[in-house]
Copies of this chain bind each other. A is one copy, B any other.
């Protein structure tokens, strides 16, 4: 189990454009540092707001060792709290989701308001100050129908991301969505392998027969450009933006998030086996059926595909050095009826297949890396620019949190 100083040394020595050394994908010390430097420090996508539409609706979520309650208050505001009673620490909300007028600890019935304040605790004596025993809060922000949380004592800036993403998200009207289906799978691979796999389509032709019916293998769609935009993409951006909604590729200066509205293949409009729409009652007001998906990622927890007819949100949660949960939610208009406006099988099959195919390649990747004989190999400059971008962001993040400054390994 590596110490932070050893990990820092390895970061300084790494070969740019190559996959990381074995320890980054297997070591318990690196995993612990990943939690401290990334997951316990950055803003994390948690849920779409449509999962808790009414006061008292709550969802629980675990990130590393932290348990979090996300709850909508009587005032309509969404807040997040640590899921541990201030008495002896019991979990307060046990269910994955539910509705409660107050948050009552099941152990000794300490009772909290939906805003976290302690309302009642039996026989705690005259010296007890209830106002000092409210639930501990977790930073929480809403962005166009998406809830982000941050576990750090002081949260980093969220506004830059919100400013970039909000205009792209607004036309999708996620506040009027509902979850049509939800899937959680465990991939037996390090969370960075899940991301590396997501950030390239070099593997698509050999592994994703369903997705490749509609999603282009073109690395300019998945990856990051070298500054120039291919004419076919530029035409797409121009056409969609002329229709009144933002489309062009934008990426955070630090590399943590990106938005772009990309074309699908051959006039396909949604992720279905025949490329036609999946939902007749559309979610959002995107003016063209063939506007393509808004591809948004925000490291370290979410990539998304917001389509003209429905949206798909993905959430990445690290479980152990070699286990990662991937949760996928298909969002449709809240008034869309299953069997009438959409067929659930047809809506979900492409990404259910794709997720499972990705799980297999990630697990095979992890298995091979577990060997002491593994050595970092070169990424394809053509097809894996997105992977290089992710790895560069990750290594910069770790370096910055350990040293307080931005260092770059010499080429």
Contacts and interface: CB of A to CB of B under 8 A. Distances in A.
Interface of A: 19, 40, 65-67, 82-92, 94, 106-109, 122-125, 128, 133, 136, 196, 202-203, 205-207, 361, 364-365, 367-383
Q: In the assembly, how many copies of this chain are there?
A: 3
A326 B94 CA distance: 23
B85 A368 contact: yes
A65 B85 CA distance: 34
B123 A380 contact: yes
B364 A122 contact: no
Nearest to A372: B65
Contacts of A125: 380-382
Contacts of A65: 370-372
Nearest to A370: B65
Contacts of A128: 378
Nearest to A125: B381
Given A65-B370, A108-B202, A124-B381, 20 more contacts: A40-B372, A65-B372, A66-B371, A66-B372, A82-B371, A82-B374, A84-B368, A85-B368, A88-B196, A88-B365, A89-B371, A90-B364, A91-B364, A91-B367, A107-B203, A107-B364, A109-B206, A122-B380, A133-B377, A136-B373
A65 to B, nearest CB: 5
A369 B88 CA distance: 8
Contacts of A364: 90-91, 94, 106-107
B122 A368 contact: no
Contacts of A205: 109
A214 to B, nearest CB: 21
Contact of A108 (B84, B206, B376): B206
A69 to B, nearest CB: 11
A238 B383 CA distance: 70
